[in-house]
């Protein structure tokens, strides 16, 4: 899981700056869009590392941050629509994770 851990760290680095900068409105819970080409079971270790990294930064899903998950279930053709859906949902930032070579 070396690659997954590294991907989680990169994603967390991208998240830390805007969330820590206080760019959110007071009282608004930041929302992260998480997009993957895989099925959830295929990247469960990656998702756990991602969530643990957020906890290490003081963010707990369901308490002071929300994560909106979208999975293409192995169908790469679904990715554009899922990404567009996250845009429509106005997530504050989007993170991606996959075990596939894309």
When pLDDT is averaged across residues 51-80 and rounded to a whole number, the result is 95
Q: What is the C-alpha separation between 92 and 102, in angstroms, rounded?
A: 24
C-alpha distances in Å from residue 6, one per residue of 29, 33, 51, 53, 83:
26, 19, 14, 11, 22
- Whether residue 12 contacts residue 54, with contact meaning beta carbons closer than 8 Å, is answered with yes
Position 6 pLDDT exceeds 50: no
Tokens 């504050």, located at residue:
92
User: What integer pLDDT is reported at residue 25 of this predicted model?
Assistant: 58
Checking if the pLDDT of 36 tops 80, the result is: yes
Confidence band, pLDDT 50/70/90 cuts, at residue 97: confident
Mean pLDDT of 72-96: 95
CB contact set of 16 (below 8 Å; sequence gap of 6+): 57
């Amino acid at each position: 899981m070396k690659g997954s851990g590294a991907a989680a760290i990169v994603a967390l680095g991208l998240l830390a700056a805007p969330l820590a900068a206080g760019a959110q409105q007071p009282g608004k819970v930041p929302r992260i869009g998480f997009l993957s080409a895989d099925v959830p079971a295929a990247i469960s270790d990656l998702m756990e590392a991602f969530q643990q990294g957020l906890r290490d930064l003081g963010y707990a899903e369901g308490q002071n941050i929300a994560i909106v998950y979208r999975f293409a279930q192995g169908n790469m053709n679904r990715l554009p629509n899922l990404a567009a859906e996250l845009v429509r949902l106005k997530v504050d930032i989007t993170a991606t994770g996959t075990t596939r070579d894309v």
